Structure 1
């Protein structure tokens, strides 16, 4: 069978307008295949509403109503029912993991089709869930024809993937550099507001593994003309606000809260360096690094064991990689990058363009699907 008429179904937890890293990848795959190859890659997902719906764009989206969430896992009986109904209408099932609900649906109602697993990360935080779920995880890995990892590091380091090395294919996440809307007016406002300052920008949910407290403390050791802007919302907002005022850094570190999407490009363009201070392997890749690099911004990120983060940002080339959980090292990294910003900026863009575009990701996937004939 020619791979052009191969029918593919992506199975993921959610799908935009519910946004997260995995949802964005799934969207870019379906959208990218249609624009590059006029092929429809349909999607089966849970919706954050309680009712089922079906959408037809250039591809179909089957959205299934949610009952609730247990251990970060959406629960939906209609998802299992819909899977049972459509599972044999496709040649390839492209499964985004972690997603215990989907694996259990496939276990209850197996398919004869080829299964491709997109392994975004191990189940890291939910130890109880992993204990209960492990037999199912082993089962699905055995069933899979191929397992996609987003960085070579992850494939080698992930304990779950050790027995399946021969099935692994590395396809880095790619993004569309022209997707973010320009906002010239807001850009000029920001330039006026921060005139004469060096800007360090950081972005992410304000949660434990993002390591923002180390970035706040690093501000103490940065030159007086340097300002750190942190975008994002989350449970640590209050704690970080208190820390900033205790360290008397209210002029130097600013929590921006959630940044509206139409203002985001203005912050990337404004900054001199982007910082990803994450401290834990829950940060498996760090797509924000790609966003920064696509705007020609050098990156300071951390050398998280078992994570693709330090692979994405190449130390000494597209930026600097420092020890996680170390505010002195972060400050030193930021100072180094500010000094070499010109060269590093060009390199960052080159690295992005060579490895991490949406089209590159789609073409690599197209190649993989065609090998499954």
Structure 2
């Protein structure tokens, strides 16, 4: 069995390309041939990297970035020259460049379409891309999502439910250094740390998490990691509510430091408000560290499937700071309930969201495709 994944870019900047890369490494570790073809990020040079005897990363140069899409025309010629060598092409959506490359490749074999999310914000891009997207939906032998909820409720997939399945995202369990976590706790005087992490953009709903801090007493501190265009706006909100001692915007946190913040936290909060947040990998990181979660009930998103109510955490309505605060208090003020969520959340992670689970489910579906 030889698999080629196409889509997104390298080096890794987001969830989709992390899934591709982790899946490639996981499959190749089981001696399944899995290569990856993608565009480069920013000024990263075109290159071919042989990761191991069963995995090769082929990075094509990006000529221009348009509407969050890396345009790398060399992907077309490269795919035309190698497509016949693979039993299955596993294409990751949304990525118009990858879809165009597949359309022009002349490939006649099996196709798995990994539908990570709908195109929501780029309306003009979607208008131009829709005919190609419709071709891809019809061309795919199997369409998989990351949760059963998202693929069941996406308006783009309503006519393709006969060939739908899902592969939950899986990650290696996150571990943290106890001493580093303790140092962070000490720097905030051992207050209850409510941790959140993500780009400071509208759909992350951080303004509602900041609003939640107004309803928490001084035994709590909210730490928000990440950078983005809303930094000044969020700082103004913090100042307006006089929450400078209770809410901290941490800015960019280096990858090696992130586990310590999970370790130091009391619980994790995902405050996103629209289904651009399709899954929420940060929830897996929190579960693997034994941290309960407060997340939001985003319409048509899989976030509330990942964080299961009363098992790994609590779920509240979107755009409701008071509801977030009440859920935080329910979890943190009941020690028995808190401990239950810690144990059950870790178990949920191990049962559903490990890298091994993602690799095994992918292999199962690859075999299913090839047997048809």
> Is the TM value for this pair above 0.5?
yes
Partner in structure 2 of residue 118 of structure 1: 114
1:86 aligns with 2:79: no
1:189 aligns with 2:186: no
1:371 aligns with 2:351: no
1:8 aligns with 2:11: no
1:362 aligns with 2:359: yes
Partner in structure 1 of residue 129 of structure 2: 133
Partner in structure 2 of residue 75 of structure 1: 71
1:210 aligns with 2:204: yes
Deviates most, 205-214 or 40-49 = 40-49
Q: Is the 8 A contact 2:3 2:87 kept in 1?
A: yes
The CA distance in 2 between the partners of 1:13 and 1:348, in whole Å, is 31
1:245 aligns with 2:242: no
Deviations 1:25-70 (A, max 9, x none): 01110111122x1223000000123642111111111100011111
Deviations 1:233-253 (A, max 9, x none): 101111111111111000000
The DSSP-based 3-state class of the residue aligned with 1:256 is strand
Partner in structure 2 of residue 298 of structure 1: 292
Deviations 1:7-34 (A, max 9, x none): 110002113x322101110111011112
1:98 aligns with 2:91: no
RMSD: 1.2
Tell me by how many angstroms 1:131 deviates: 1.2
Change (3 A) 1:224 1:160: same
The DSSP-based 3-state class of the residue aligned with 1:262 is coil
Residues 1-373 of structure 1 mapped to structure 2, 5 A cutoff: 6-15=1-10, 17-35=11-29, 37-48=30-41, 49=43, 51-58=45-52, 59-178=55-174, 182-339=176-333, 340-373=337-370
Deviations 1:106-126 (A, max 9, x none): 222231110001100000111
Q: Is the 8 A contact 1:183 1:263 kept in 2?
A: no
The DSSP-based 3-state class of the residue aligned with 2:169 is coil
Return the TM-score normalized by structure 2. 0.95
The DSSP-based 3-state class of the residue aligned with 2:257 is helix
The CA distance in 1 between the partners of 2:102 and 2:85, in whole Å, is 14
Q: Which runs of 5+ in 1 are unaligned?
A: 1-5
Q: Is the 8 A contact 2:12 2:18 kept in 1?
A: no
Consecutive aligned runs of 4 or more in structure 1 exceeding 4 Å deviation: none
The CA distance in 2 between the partners of 1:106 and 1:187, in whole Å, is 46
The CA distance in 2 between the partners of 1:214 and 1:177, in whole Å, is 29
Tell me by how many angstroms 1:185 deviates: 4.2
The DSSP-based 3-state class of the residue aligned with 1:13 is strand
Deviations 1:282-339 (A, max 9, x none): 0000000010000011100000001000111111221110000111111111111212
Q: Is the 8 A contact 1:183 1:262 kept in 2?
A: no
Tell me by how many angstroms 1:186 deviates: 2.5
The CA distance in 1 between the partners of 2:232 and 2:60, in whole Å, is 35
Count residues in correspondence: 364
The CA distance in 1 between the partners of 2:274 and 2:201, in whole Å, is 11
Partner in structure 2 of residue 3 of structure 1: none
Q: Which runs of 5+ in 2 are unaligned?
A: none
The CA distance in 1 between the partners of 2:106 and 2:151, in whole Å, is 26
Return the TM-score normalized by structure 1. 0.95
